Amino acid sequence: MRSYWFGDVIEGGCIPSEGNTEARVRRVHLLRTMMDDFVPLIWEDAVACGICRDRAEYIAFLREVCFAAAEMEIREQYAGKDVELLQMVRTLDEMDELINRLSERVTEWHQVRNPSFSRKYRRTPAHVLVKNIARSNKGALGRVAVHIEEFSDARTELAKEVSNRANRVLPNSSALIGGLVAARLMSHAGGLMPLSRMPASAIQVLGARTALFAHLRTHSPSPKHGIIFQHRRVHNAPREVRGKVARALAGKLAIAARLDYFRGAPVPEFLEKAQARIDLLGGSEEE
C-alpha cells in the first residue's frame, strides 16, 4: 500500500482519505515514506481514488491543499509564545543602533558650532552628551537632541518589557543569564525552537559572527564567546580562563533552552545545580 495526501493506493484500486481540506492537510503532516520503497505520485492515482476527474481538477485540488497547509503553518508559527518577544528584541536592537548614530551625528553638529568641544566629547558618555546638547542649544539642534532623549526613554521602557517577557518565555535561561541577554540569544538563534536545538558550542559563540568568519577566512584565533560575554561570570573572569567559563555557561544554557521549549516553566532543581556550578567555576577562576 502506498499512502498519499488524497488516499491509500492499493493493488487494483485506491481508498480515498476522508474529511475536508483541513483533514487532508493534517494527513500530509502525518505521512512518513521510506525512500527504499518510494514510488513517485502520478495524478491518475488520484483519479482512481475518485477525488478528481482529470489532471486540471487534480492540480486545482492540490493547490487548495498546499495553500491550506501553508496557512496552517503560518498560524502555528505566529501562535508561538516567542514570536512577539522576537520582534521586541529586534526592535530594541535597531533602536540602540539608531540612538547611537543620531547621538554621534548631533555631537558632530554641536562640534561645528563649538570647535573646542572635541576633548569633552571623548570623555563624556553619549547620553550625558546628548542631554547637555539639548539644554545648551536652541533651534533645530536642540530639538533633535530632545527627541533623541525621548527616544532613549522609550528604548529603556522597551528593554524592561523585553526582560519581563523573557522571564515568562525563557524562564530557565533568564534565571541563568538575565532576561535581556536570554532574549538576545533567542533572537540571534531565530527563535526558541532553533535555540533549543543548538549545541553548547554554537550557543557559546552566538553573536560573534564577524569574529567567527574572520577565523574561517584568515585562520585568526577563534572566538571564545559571543552574547554570553555580557554575563558577569564571563566578562569578570581573567582573559586566560574566560573561554572556559563561557564554555561552562553555554553548556548549562543549552540544557536551559531545551527546558524552556519543552516544559516552558522553571525547573528549580536544575537552576540550583546549574547556578552553583557556574558560581563555583567563576569563583575559582577569579581566585
Q: Following CA atoms 208, 214, 216, 218 in sequence, which dihedral angle do they give, to the nearest 10 degrees? A: -160
Residue 169: φ, ψ to 5°? -80, -40
- Judgement on whether residues 158 and 177 belong to the same structural domain of the protein: no
Task: For residue range 74-109, list pLDDT tens digits in order.
Answer: 777 666 788 899 999 999 999 999 999 999 999 889
Which cell numbers in the block locate residue 103? 547621538
In order of 25, 143, 220, the CA distances from 131 in angstroms are 58, 11, 41
Percent of the chain with pLDDT over 90: 37
User: Which residues constitute the domain of residue 12?
Assistant: 2-78
- Judgement on whether residues 29 and 85 belong to the same structural domain of the protein: no
3-state secondary structure at position 7: strand
Count of domains forming the chain: 3
Q: Residue 119's pLDDT band (boundaries 50, 70, 90)?
A: low
Look at residues 78, 112, 144 and tell me which one is the last residue of a structural domain. Answer: 78
- Judgement on whether residues 149 and 184 belong to the same structural domain of the protein: no
- Judgement on whether residues 141 and 207 belong to the same structural domain of the protein: no
Look at residues 78, 113, 135 and tell me which one is the last residue of a structural domain. Answer: 78
- Judgement on whether residues 24 and 63 belong to the same structural domain of the protein: yes
Q: Does the structure show a pLDDT above 70 at 46?
A: yes
Residues 6/49, Cβ–Cβ less than 8 Å: yes
CATH code where residue 246 lies: 1.10.246.90
Average pLDDT over residues 113-136: 79
Between CA 46 and CA 4 the distance in angstroms is: 9
Residue 249 burial class via C-beta count within 10 angstroms: exposed 0-12, middle 13-18, buried 19 and up: buried
- Judgement on whether residues 241 and 154 belong to the same structural domain of the protein: no
Q: Report which residue type is found at 79.
A: A
Q: Residue 210's pLDDT band (boundaries 50, 70, 90)?
A: low
Q: Cell numbers 546628548 label which residue?
A: 130
- Judgement on whether residues 61 and 96 belong to the same structural domain of the protein: no
Q: Residue 199's pLDDT band (boundaries 50, 70, 90)?
A: very high
Between CA 135 and CA 233 the distance in angstroms is: 39
Between CA 257 and CA 228 the distance in angstroms is: 14
Look at residues 78, 107, 139 and tell me which one is the last residue of a structural domain. Answer: 78
- Judgement on whether residues 175 and 279 belong to the same structural domain of the protein: yes
- Judgement on whether residues 68 and 137 belong to the same structural domain of the protein: no
